[in-house]
Structure 1
Protein backbone atom coordinates (compact mmCIF):
# COMPACT_ATOMS: atom_id res chain seq x y z
CA UNK A 1 0.00 0.00 0.00
CA UNK A 2 1.31 3.41 -0.94
CA UNK A 3 -0.36 5.56 1.73
CA UNK A 4 2.54 7.21 3.53
CA UNK A 5 0.58 9.83 5.45
CA UNK A 6 -2.97 11.01 6.13
CA UNK A 7 -3.64 14.52 7.43
CA UNK A 8 -6.65 16.59 8.37
CA UNK A 9 -6.01 20.21 7.52
CA UNK A 10 -8.70 22.78 6.83
CA UNK A 11 -6.31 24.67 4.58
CA UNK A 12 -5.59 21.51 2.51
CA UNK A 13 -2.32 22.36 0.71
CA UNK A 14 -0.29 25.27 2.13
CA UNK A 15 3.20 25.82 3.51
CA UNK A 16 3.20 23.08 6.16
CA UNK A 17 1.78 20.39 3.87
CA UNK A 18 3.50 21.53 0.67
CA UNK A 19 6.95 22.10 2.10
CA UNK A 20 7.41 20.39 5.46
CA UNK A 21 5.29 17.23 5.31
CA UNK A 22 5.84 16.51 1.62
CA UNK A 23 9.60 16.78 2.08
CA UNK A 24 9.76 14.90 5.39
CA UNK A 25 7.68 11.98 4.05
CA UNK A 26 9.24 12.06 0.55
CA UNK A 27 5.77 12.31 -1.02
CA UNK A 28 5.32 11.84 -4.78
CA UNK A 29 1.53 12.50 -4.87
CA UNK A 30 -0.81 14.58 -2.71
CA UNK A 31 -4.43 13.47 -2.82
CA UNK A 32 -6.97 16.02 -1.64
CA UNK A 33 -10.21 14.21 -0.84
CA UNK A 34 -13.20 16.53 -0.73
CA UNK A 35 -16.63 16.15 -2.33
CA UNK A 36 -17.02 19.93 -2.78
CA UNK A 37 -13.52 21.11 -3.70
CA UNK A 38 -13.22 18.48 -6.45
CA UNK A 39 -16.01 20.31 -8.34
CA UNK A 40 -14.62 23.83 -7.87
CA UNK A 41 -12.24 24.81 -10.68
CA UNK A 42 -10.93 27.88 -8.83
CA UNK A 43 -10.08 25.96 -5.66
CA UNK A 44 -8.47 23.19 -7.72
CA UNK A 45 -6.32 25.78 -9.52
CA UNK A 46 -5.17 27.17 -6.19
CA UNK A 47 -4.27 23.68 -4.95
CA UNK A 48 -2.26 23.03 -8.13
CA UNK A 49 -0.32 26.25 -7.58
CA UNK A 50 0.41 25.29 -3.96
CA UNK A 51 1.62 21.79 -4.86
CA UNK A 52 5.43 21.55 -4.94
CA UNK A 53 7.06 20.96 -8.32
CA UNK A 54 7.73 17.30 -8.94
CA UNK A 55 4.76 16.24 -6.79
CA UNK A 56 1.59 15.04 -8.51
CA UNK A 57 -1.85 16.19 -7.34
CA UNK A 58 -5.22 14.47 -7.31
CA UNK A 59 -8.37 16.28 -6.13
CA UNK A 60 -11.10 13.68 -5.84
CA UNK A 61 -14.47 12.97 -4.24
CA UNK A 62 -14.48 10.26 -1.55
CA UNK A 63 -15.94 7.53 -3.76
CA UNK A 64 -13.41 8.01 -6.60
CA UNK A 65 -10.49 8.34 -4.17
CA UNK A 66 -11.40 5.06 -2.46
CA UNK A 67 -11.89 3.27 -5.80
CA UNK A 68 -8.52 4.46 -7.13
CA UNK A 69 -6.65 3.53 -3.95
CA UNK A 70 -8.28 0.11 -3.68
CA UNK A 71 -7.60 -0.57 -7.38
CA UNK A 72 -3.88 -0.02 -6.71
CA UNK A 73 -3.66 3.03 -8.96
CA UNK A 74 -1.07 4.68 -6.69
CA UNK A 75 0.83 1.61 -5.48
CA UNK A 76 4.09 2.78 -7.10
CA UNK A 77 3.81 6.25 -5.52
CA UNK A 78 4.25 7.70 -2.03
CA UNK A 79 0.79 9.10 -1.26
CA UNK A 80 -0.22 11.81 1.21
CA UNK A 81 -3.98 12.04 1.70
CA UNK A 82 -5.30 15.41 2.89
CA UNK A 83 -8.89 16.18 3.94
CA UNK A 84 -10.58 19.06 5.76
CA UNK A 85 -12.71 17.00 8.14
CA UNK A 86 -12.63 13.64 9.95
CA UNK A 87 -15.95 12.70 8.35
CA UNK A 88 -14.27 12.47 4.93
CA UNK A 89 -11.57 10.13 6.22
CA UNK A 90 -14.16 8.03 8.04
CA UNK A 91 -15.97 7.59 4.71
CA UNK A 92 -12.69 6.37 3.15
CA UNK A 93 -12.21 3.87 5.99
CA UNK A 94 -15.81 2.67 5.58
CA UNK A 95 -15.13 2.19 1.85
CA UNK A 96 -12.26 -0.15 2.73
CA UNK A 97 -9.23 2.15 2.48
CA UNK A 98 -6.67 0.92 5.03
CA UNK A 99 -5.89 4.04 7.06
CA UNK A 100 -3.84 3.23 10.16
CA UNK A 101 -2.99 6.72 11.42
CA UNK A 102 -4.33 10.23 10.91
CA UNK A 103 -2.36 13.37 11.71
CA UNK A 104 -4.81 16.02 12.89
CA UNK A 105 -3.42 19.37 11.82
CA UNK A 106 -5.11 22.73 11.50
CA UNK A 107 -8.89 22.87 11.89
CA UNK A 108 -10.08 26.46 11.71
CA UNK A 109 -12.29 28.23 14.18
CA UNK A 110 -15.90 28.99 13.33
CA UNK A 111 -19.04 30.00 15.20
CA UNK A 112 -19.86 26.33 15.88
CA UNK A 113 -16.45 25.11 17.02
CA UNK A 114 -14.56 25.07 20.27
CA UNK A 115 -10.80 25.18 20.60
CA UNK A 116 -9.01 22.07 21.85
CA UNK A 117 -5.48 23.22 20.94
CA UNK A 118 -4.22 26.54 19.61
CA UNK A 119 -4.76 25.36 16.03
CA UNK A 120 -7.43 22.66 16.28
CA UNK A 121 -11.08 23.65 16.63
CA UNK A 122 -13.84 21.04 16.56
CA UNK A 123 -17.62 20.88 16.59
CA UNK A 124 -19.84 18.04 17.83
CA UNK A 125 -19.94 16.41 14.39
CA UNK A 126 -16.13 16.36 14.23
CA UNK A 127 -15.94 14.79 17.69
CA UNK A 128 -18.47 12.15 16.65
CA UNK A 129 -16.31 11.16 13.65
CA UNK A 130 -13.06 11.24 15.63
CA UNK A 131 -14.67 8.83 18.08
CA UNK A 132 -15.85 6.59 15.22
CA UNK A 133 -12.36 6.54 13.69
CA UNK A 134 -10.87 5.75 17.08
CA UNK A 135 -13.35 2.88 17.54
CA UNK A 136 -12.24 1.50 14.14
CA UNK A 137 -8.69 1.32 15.48
CA UNK A 138 -7.32 4.32 13.60
CA UNK A 139 -4.56 6.02 15.58
CA UNK A 140 -5.16 9.78 15.84
CA UNK A 141 -2.23 12.09 16.52
CA UNK A 142 -1.88 15.86 16.73
CA UNK A 143 1.30 17.13 15.09
CA UNK A 144 1.37 20.47 13.30
CA UNK A 145 4.86 20.16 11.79
CA UNK A 146 7.32 17.26 11.60
CA UNK A 147 9.59 18.81 14.26
CA UNK A 148 6.73 18.81 16.82
CA UNK A 149 6.20 15.80 19.04
CA UNK A 150 3.23 13.67 17.90
CA UNK A 151 0.65 13.69 20.70
CA UNK A 152 -2.33 11.43 21.27
CA UNK A 153 -5.19 13.42 19.75
CA UNK A 154 -7.97 11.62 21.64
CA UNK A 155 -6.53 12.85 24.95
CA UNK A 156 -7.32 16.42 23.82
CA UNK A 157 -10.98 15.51 23.27
CA UNK A 158 -11.38 14.27 26.83
CA UNK A 159 -9.96 17.42 28.47
Structure 2
Protein backbone atom coordinates (compact mmCIF):
# COMPACT_ATOMS: atom_id res chain seq x y z
CA UNK A 1 0.00 0.00 0.00
CA UNK A 2 1.26 3.48 -0.85
CA UNK A 3 1.37 6.13 1.85
CA UNK A 4 -1.67 8.34 1.50
CA UNK A 5 -0.19 11.75 2.15
CA UNK A 6 -2.95 14.24 1.46
CA UNK A 7 -0.81 17.32 2.09
CA UNK A 8 2.42 18.41 3.72
CA UNK A 9 2.18 21.91 5.21
CA UNK A 10 4.59 24.38 6.78
CA UNK A 11 2.88 26.29 9.57
CA UNK A 12 4.76 27.58 12.60
CA UNK A 13 1.49 27.70 14.55
CA UNK A 14 1.15 23.91 14.09
CA UNK A 15 -2.39 23.00 15.16
CA UNK A 16 -4.74 26.00 15.32
CA UNK A 17 -8.17 26.91 13.97
CA UNK A 18 -7.24 26.81 10.27
CA UNK A 19 -5.54 23.45 10.61
CA UNK A 20 -7.93 21.90 13.11
CA UNK A 21 -11.04 22.88 11.23
CA UNK A 22 -10.53 24.01 7.62
CA UNK A 23 -7.65 21.82 6.47
CA UNK A 24 -8.49 18.55 8.22
CA UNK A 25 -12.07 18.70 6.91
CA UNK A 26 -11.13 19.80 3.39
CA UNK A 27 -8.50 17.08 3.13
CA UNK A 28 -10.64 14.44 4.86
CA UNK A 29 -7.71 13.14 6.92
CA UNK A 30 -7.72 10.76 9.86
CA UNK A 31 -4.17 11.43 11.08
CA UNK A 32 -1.97 14.49 11.56
CA UNK A 33 1.77 13.91 11.72
CA UNK A 34 3.71 16.76 13.30
CA UNK A 35 7.33 16.48 12.18
CA UNK A 36 9.25 18.90 14.37
CA UNK A 37 12.50 18.32 16.21
CA UNK A 38 11.89 20.80 19.05
CA UNK A 39 8.34 19.67 19.83
CA UNK A 40 9.24 15.99 19.87
CA UNK A 41 11.45 16.67 22.91
CA UNK A 42 9.04 19.02 24.73
CA UNK A 43 6.42 17.19 26.80
CA UNK A 44 4.57 20.42 27.67
CA UNK A 45 4.15 21.44 24.01
CA UNK A 46 3.15 17.89 23.08
CA UNK A 47 0.45 17.91 25.77
CA UNK A 48 -0.89 21.27 24.56
CA UNK A 49 -0.96 20.11 20.94
CA UNK A 50 -2.82 16.94 21.88
CA UNK A 51 -5.54 19.13 23.42
CA UNK A 52 -5.82 21.09 20.14
CA UNK A 53 -6.17 17.90 18.08
CA UNK A 54 -9.41 17.78 16.11
CA UNK A 55 -11.91 15.21 17.33
CA UNK A 56 -11.66 11.90 15.51
CA UNK A 57 -8.18 12.64 14.12
CA UNK A 58 -5.12 10.79 15.38
CA UNK A 59 -2.13 12.97 16.27
CA UNK A 60 1.44 11.70 15.99
CA UNK A 61 4.39 13.87 17.01
CA UNK A 62 7.88 12.89 15.84
CA UNK A 63 11.20 14.55 15.18
CA UNK A 64 11.94 14.98 11.48
CA UNK A 65 14.25 11.96 11.18
CA UNK A 66 11.77 9.68 12.97
CA UNK A 67 8.96 11.01 10.76
CA UNK A 68 10.98 10.20 7.62
CA UNK A 69 11.67 6.72 8.98
CA UNK A 70 7.98 6.15 9.76
CA UNK A 71 6.85 7.41 6.34
CA UNK A 72 9.36 5.25 4.49
CA UNK A 73 8.72 2.13 6.61
CA UNK A 74 5.06 1.81 5.65
CA UNK A 75 3.73 2.20 9.20
CA UNK A 76 1.76 5.29 8.09
CA UNK A 77 0.24 3.65 5.02
CA UNK A 78 -3.05 2.90 6.74
CA UNK A 79 -3.76 6.60 7.34
CA UNK A 80 -5.05 9.45 5.27
CA UNK A 81 -2.22 11.71 6.38
CA UNK A 82 -1.74 15.44 6.87
CA UNK A 83 1.88 16.28 7.68
CA UNK A 84 2.75 19.57 9.37
CA UNK A 85 6.26 20.95 9.79
CA UNK A 86 7.21 24.14 11.59
CA UNK A 87 9.81 25.48 9.16
CA UNK A 88 10.82 25.39 5.51
CA UNK A 89 14.06 23.69 6.63
CA UNK A 90 12.05 20.88 8.29
CA UNK A 91 9.79 20.34 5.27
CA UNK A 92 12.85 20.36 3.00
CA UNK A 93 14.40 17.57 5.08
CA UNK A 94 11.10 15.66 4.99
CA UNK A 95 10.71 15.96 1.23
CA UNK A 96 14.33 15.00 0.56
CA UNK A 97 13.99 11.98 2.87
CA UNK A 98 10.55 10.79 1.73
CA UNK A 99 9.89 10.62 -1.99
CA UNK A 100 6.13 10.21 -1.37
CA UNK A 101 5.94 13.94 -0.54
CA UNK A 102 4.91 15.45 -3.86
CA UNK A 103 3.06 18.58 -2.74
CA UNK A 104 3.87 21.18 -0.10
CA UNK A 105 1.69 23.99 1.19
CA UNK A 106 3.36 26.98 2.79
CA UNK A 107 0.82 28.28 5.27
CA UNK A 108 2.81 30.45 7.62
CA UNK A 109 6.39 30.95 8.67
CA UNK A 110 7.78 32.93 11.57
CA UNK A 111 9.43 36.32 11.09
CA UNK A 112 12.96 36.33 12.51
CA UNK A 113 15.99 38.60 12.11
CA UNK A 114 17.31 36.07 9.56
CA UNK A 115 14.20 36.13 7.34
CA UNK A 116 14.99 38.75 4.72
CA UNK A 117 12.48 37.50 2.12
CA UNK A 118 8.76 38.25 2.48
CA UNK A 119 7.05 36.96 -0.70
CA UNK A 120 3.51 36.92 0.77
CA UNK A 121 1.97 38.37 3.95
CA UNK A 122 2.26 35.09 5.91
CA UNK A 123 5.60 33.84 4.55
CA UNK A 124 8.99 34.98 5.83
CA UNK A 125 12.03 33.17 4.49
CA UNK A 126 15.80 33.16 4.51
CA UNK A 127 17.98 32.94 1.42
CA UNK A 128 18.66 29.30 2.40
CA UNK A 129 14.88 28.65 2.55
CA UNK A 130 14.55 30.06 -0.98
CA UNK A 131 17.37 27.76 -2.15
CA UNK A 132 15.58 24.77 -0.55
CA UNK A 133 12.32 25.71 -2.27
CA UNK A 134 14.06 26.04 -5.63
CA UNK A 135 15.73 22.66 -5.15
CA UNK A 136 12.44 20.96 -4.26
CA UNK A 137 10.74 22.59 -7.25
CA UNK A 138 13.58 21.22 -9.38
CA UNK A 139 12.89 17.78 -7.89
CA UNK A 140 9.30 18.03 -9.14
CA UNK A 141 7.65 18.84 -5.81
CA UNK A 142 4.65 21.17 -6.23
CA UNK A 143 4.84 24.04 -3.73
CA UNK A 144 2.00 26.47 -3.19
CA UNK A 145 1.14 29.14 -0.66
CA UNK A 146 -2.28 29.63 0.94
CA UNK A 147 -3.71 30.03 4.39
CA UNK A 148 -6.96 28.09 4.02
CA UNK A 149 -8.21 25.63 1.41
CA UNK A 150 -10.55 28.14 -0.25
CA UNK A 151 -7.81 30.74 -0.85
CA UNK A 152 -6.40 31.06 -4.35
CA UNK A 153 -3.12 29.20 -4.70
CA UNK A 154 0.03 31.26 -5.05
CA UNK A 155 2.71 29.12 -6.66
CA UNK A 156 6.13 29.27 -5.01
CA UNK A 157 7.82 29.27 -8.43
CA UNK A 158 6.17 32.67 -9.05
CA UNK A 159 7.36 34.36 -5.84
CA UNK A 160 10.69 32.73 -4.93
Which runs of 5 or more structure 1 residues have no equivalent in the other structure? none
CA RMSD, aligned part only?
1.3
Deviates more, 1:22-31 or 1:121-130: 121-130
Tell me which residue corresponds to 1:112.
114
Tell me which residue corresponds to 1:155.
158
Which of the residues 21, 35, 38 maps onto 1:36?
38
Give the TM-score normalised by structure 1.
Answer: 0.93
DSSP-derived class of the 1:133 partner: helix
Tell me which residue corresponds to 1:11.
13
Deviates more, 1:147-156 or 1:87-96: 87-96
How far apart, CA to CA, are the structure 2 residues paired with 1:37 and 1:22? 20
Deviating beyond 6 angstroms after TM superposition, the runs of 4 or more aligned structure 1 residues are none
DSSP-derived class of the 2:159 partner: helix
Q: How does 1:1-159 map to 2 (within 5 A)?
A: 1-113=3-115, 114-157=117-160
Structure with more strand by fraction:
2
How far apart, CA to CA, are the structure 2 residues paired with 1:26 and 1:39? 29
Give the TM-score normalised by structure 2.
Answer: 0.92
